[in-house]
Amino acid sequence: MSLNLTRRDLARLITRIENGERGAQEALNALYPHTGRARVIGITGAPGSGKSTLVSEMARAWRLRSGLDQPQVAIVAVDPSSPFSGGAILGDRIRMRDLYGDSGIFIRSMASRGALGGIAAATADVVSALDAYGFEIVLIETVGAGQLEVDVARIAQTVIVVEAPGAGDEVQAVKAGILEIADVIAVNKADREGVAQTISALQSALDIAPANGHHGARAATELASDDGTGWRPPIVKVSALNREGIVELLAAVDTHRDYLVATGEGERRYQQRIESDIKARLRELLLQTAMRRITQIDYQAVLAAVGQRSLHPAEAALKLLDSLHL
Amino acid sequence: MSLNLTRRDLARLITRIENGERGAQEALNALYPHTGRARVIGITGAPGSGKSTLVSEMARAWRLRSGLDQPQVAIVAVDPSSPFSGGAILGDRIRMRDLYGDSGIFIRSMASRGALGGIAAATADVVSALDAYGFEIVLIETVGAGQLEVDVARIAQTVIVVEAPGAGDEVQAVKAGILEIADVIAVNKADREGVAQTISALQSALDIAPANGHHGARAATELASDDGTGWRPPIVKVSALNREGIVELLAAVDTHRDYLVATGEGERRYQQRIESDIKARLRELLLQTAMRRITQIDYQAVLAAVGQRSLHPAEAALKLLDSLHL
């Protein structure tokens, strides 16, 4: 059961996962039986909602929490705009300075640089490595609001959507449609004007969601937070900068964990996570295998026909599939 | 060459594309030779930047433009948070009221409901349908900031990133890392405070981008705006609500179109678009074919082993691939 992994080994492994190096898989295979102990929490929300500060404060609060044995906390900041570099890396450097000195907190930014199965698979692998290493809490922070957040929902056990009172009357999470993946909603910058409106807009959004047909869509995608067994995402007011409401936020995350265990929803999500992870990786393997076996002649002919608009891309894909004689 | 497609046929076809109905492909095959005439423009940016209003105003301005024969304009609002419903649909209804009465503008929200190859492929198909129908201008609006925006960049000929002066000092597009896909930058709400800072922050971001190593990343991903042939995204101040700067924005889009034609960059992008479109569809076809041929016994055994953490998901995918004896 001994892993004998140093911090430096861990950091190197993460880099190899990011880069999609084949050698990393061997290490991941060896680690995998040691996973399953970490609590994995996703934090997402529109840019400007103050996610980074909140994540730092959550990590700090977890470290200081009484009654617990000072859990080791890892923060993974994932940049969905990869393969480009983005704001996450800079933001990370700023935060590192702040949390520097506490060896119980590990911070890492990552971007996808060709990992098999995309950034979601790479993130899952990094989380596994941190889990096996012994981090009790793994916080996944994502920048932006899009498909990646849905994929992160599959990796995390609990998803926190961060909202901040805006200049206007818009609730960003509602506008970006990411409220549906929320298990807990944190309204950050709660010292600012407009908090009451933001909370009331969020409450309304939660109220009308099922009547709005979301319920059916949720059941179909099996990502439901409100799955009929009675979980309604609590709204927690926080001010990360003033360190207010953080303890209450962690308590809400604990309550959600208890809910996952008590209802079996946690196990159900775990099974879904495995299935979608395997399929994402199989999809990439199949394409790689296919691209090696498709002849250049077939490939170029199909590209030329689509380029002249005499062949639709979907038909082109079918032709290539046929040429493989599966 | 006659298509004999009514507006109603078109709307129905789009619904069938969204739903991933097989029958839609036949219609798409018939349409495809008639595509290639529309100008396809992507508009993206963080929630709250006022994209929807700007898109409406652009459509209106294109319709009113002198020297042109009142082009037919289509707006496709894509919600990346699909398979959930989201803000786009509501926003669309609000806007429709406003543009109602001009039959030269067609507005459609779409979410992915199981389209083969995901929402990017479905969007490409909808754009093809609109193109074949005769829309001269197709505006693709995306809500949110994530991987989908990169995929939209591949569909559109010109990508406009919308930014608005924020309450804080953050430039959302920089933070979300979507500036790299910009061909034109629109700073909306230009009547607000903080416009000068926003523009200067954007200029700085554009200045440091190549020195920052973005250049390499861009070349590698072949999505470059600044690709060494001399295109630097112009920054255009607009106020969609006050209908200011819209004509200048359209002029910037025209200039980018001329650049694409003059340098051959447009043709290069078109080839890349085809290739990534075909591959996305092939990937899904391969997975479907594989899942039909993988036995339930093999599949369940692999799921169970991963569930017990004795097998890594990547190894599980390899095992399934092996079981296919390709």
Per the DSSP assignment, residues forming a β-bridge with A70 are none
**Contact criterion met (CB below 8 Å) for B130 and B39:** no
Identify all chain B residues contacting A270, using CB atoms and an 8 Å cutoff. Answer: 307
Q: Does B296 contact A at CB distance below 8 Å?
A: no
What is the per-residue pLDDT for B217?
34
Alpha helices in chain B (DSSP H): 7-18, 24-31, 51-64, 87-99, 118-133, 147-155, 172-176, 195-208, 215-221, 246-263, 265-293, 296-307, 313-323
Q: Which residue has the higher pLDDT, B107 or B143?
A: B107
Are B161 and B233 part of one and the same domain?
yes
- The answer for residues whose C-beta is within 8 angstroms of residue B223's C-beta and 6 or more apart is B150, B153, B154, B180, B181
* Radius of gyration of chain B, Cα coordinates, nearest whole angstrom: 21
Per the DSSP assignment, residues forming a β-bridge with A107 are A75
Identify all chain A residues contacting B241, using CB atoms and an 8 Å cutoff. Answer: none
Q: Show the CA angle centred on residue B190, arms to residues B188 and B196, nearest 5°.
A: 110
What is the per-residue pLDDT for B292?
94
Residue A2 lies in a domain: no
What is the per-residue pLDDT for B262?
95
Say if the ipTM goes beyond 0.90: no
Fill in the amino acid letter for B267: E
Residue A119 lies in a domain: yes
Are A223 and A257 part of one and the same domain?
yes
Q: Maximum CA pair distance of chain A?
A: 69
Chain-chain contact of B175 with A86 (C-beta, under 8 angstroms): yes
Identify all chain A residues contacting B217, using CB atoms and an 8 Å cutoff. Answer: 83-85
What is the per-residue pLDDT for A152?
76
Global pTM value? 0.76
Coil, strand or helix: which one is B10?
helix
Q: Does B263 contact A at CB distance below 8 Å?
A: no
Identify all chain A residues contacting B287, using CB atoms and an 8 Å cutoff. Answer: 279, 282-283, 286
Are B287 and B255 part of one and the same domain?
no
- The answer for residues whose C-beta is within 8 angstroms of residue B317's C-beta and 6 or more apart is A278, A281, A282, A285
Residue A50 lies in a domain: yes
Are A110 and A228 part of one and the same domain?
yes
Strand order in the sheet with A73-78: A105-110, A73-78, A137-142, A39-45, A158-163, A184-187, A235-237
Are B302 and B175 part of one and the same domain?
no
Per the DSSP assignment, residues forming a β-bridge with A73 are A105, A137
Q: Does B213 contact A at CB distance below 8 Å?
A: yes
Locate tokens 């219609």: which residue? B27
| Confidence label for A153 from pLDDT (cuts 50, 70 and 90) | confident
- The answer for residues whose C-beta is within 8 angstroms of residue A282's C-beta and 6 or more apart is B287, B290, B317, B320, B321
Residue A289 lies in a domain: no
Q: Chain A closest CA to B9's CA: distance in Å? A: 20
Are A110 and A202 part of one and the same domain?
yes
Identify all chain B residues contacting A95, using CB atoms and an 8 Å cutoff. Answer: none
| CB-neighbour burial class of residue B299 (10 A; exposed 0-12, middle 13-18, buried 19+) | middle
Are A129 and A213 part of one and the same domain?
yes
* Measured distance CA(B197)–CA(A268) in Å, rounded: 48
Are A179 and A269 part of one and the same domain?
yes
What is the per-residue pLDDT for A44?
87
Q: Which residues form the domain of B39?
A: 7-277
From the list B48, B146, B303, which residue is nearest A147 (CB)? B146
**Does the pLDDT at position A245 exceed 90?**
yes
Mean pLDDT calculated for residue range A72-77:
92
What is the per-residue pLDDT for B146?
60
From the list B80, B128, B287, which residue is nearest A279 (CB)? B287
* Measured distance CA(A119)–CA(A97) in Å, rounded: 26
Could you report the per-residue pLDDT of B149-191, keeping only the tens digit for each?
677 777 899 999 999 887 555 676 666 667 778 999 999 999 9
Residue B307 lies in a domain: yes
Name the domain count of chain B.
Answer: 2
Residue A288 lies in a domain: no
Chain-chain contact of B278 with A217 (C-beta, under 8 angstroms): no
Q: Which residue has the higher pLDDT, A4 or B61?
A: B61
The half-sphere exposure of B301 on its side-chain side, counting CA atoms within 13 A, is 9
Mean pLDDT calculated for residue range B220-244:
74
- The answer for residues whose C-beta is within 8 angstroms of residue B215's C-beta and 6 or more apart is B209, B224, B226, B228
E-strand ranges in chain A read 39-45, 73-78, 105-110, 137-142, 158-163, 184-187, 235-237
Q: Does A176 contact B at CB distance below 8 Å?
A: yes
* Measured distance CA(A324)–CA(B293) in Å, rounded: 15
Are B105 and B121 part of one and the same domain?
yes
Chain-chain contact of A167 with B170 (C-beta, under 8 angstroms): no
Reference B190, options B54, B46, B41, B52; nearest CA is: B54
Of the candidate ranges A222-231, A304-313, B167-176, B230-239, the one whose mean pLDDT is the lowest? A222-231
Mean pLDDT calculated for residue range B97-101:
59
From the list A172, A274, A307, which residue is nearest B307 (CB)? A274
Chain-chain contact of A313 with B278 (C-beta, under 8 angstroms): yes
**Contact criterion met (CB below 8 Å) for A82 and A119:** yes
Could you report the per-residue pLDDT of B9-29, keeping only the tens digit for each?
898 998 888 887 878 999 999
**Does the pLDDT at position B93 exceed 50?**
no
**CB neighbours of residue B242 within 10 Å:** 12
Q: Does A88 contact B at CB distance below 8 Å?
A: yes
* Measured distance CA(B97)–CA(A22) in Å, rounded: 54
Are B44 and B189 part of one and the same domain?
yes
Mean pLDDT calculated for residue range B61-67:
81
Are A306 and A208 part of one and the same domain?
no
Are B308 and B207 part of one and the same domain?
no
What is the per-residue pLDDT for A67?
65
CATH number of the domain enclosing B175: 3.40.50.300
Could you report the per-residue pLDDT of A85-106, keeping only the tens digit for each?
434 444 444 455 556 567 788 8
Residue B2 lies in a domain: no
